[in-house]
Amino acid sequence: MIIAKVIGNVWTTQKEKGMENLKLLIVRPIGHDNEFIEDIFVAVDRIGAGISETVLITKGSPAQKVCGDQNTPIDAAIVGIVDSYDIA
């Protein structure tokens, strides 16, 4: 899983079958010092995350399972909104 910051929204008028009611957000992974560490990507959001929130993301086939259909073209999904975390 990946910890990331939500930095934007994606709006589409046409989507593939199975994605019609899915919200898409632009996210960017962050490191232990809260700095951006990787390039941005788009993730499906079914839990109601918003701009500037820190989120937990799963990628690959587990992301497809979040949407309930293995044939939906999903690569990343937000699976949690992070309240806090500690690094020793």
* Residue at 61 is within a domain: yes
- Is the pLDDT at 76 greater than 90, yes or no? yes
- Is the pLDDT at 17 greater than 90, yes or no? no
Domain count, the chain: 1
**pTM recorded for the entire structure:** 0.90
In this prediction, residue 54 carries a pLDDT of 97
* Residue at 74 is within a domain: yes
* Residue at 30 is within a domain: yes
Structure tokens at 85: 């975390």
58: β partners? 77
Q: pLDDT confidence of 18, banded at 50, 70, 90?
A: confident
For position 47, which CATH number holds? 2.40.50.220
- Is the pLDDT at 69 greater than 80, yes or no? no
Q: Which domain holds residue 31?
A: 2-81
- Indicate the average pLDDT of the chain: 91
* Residue at 17 is within a domain: yes
* Residue at 54 is within a domain: yes
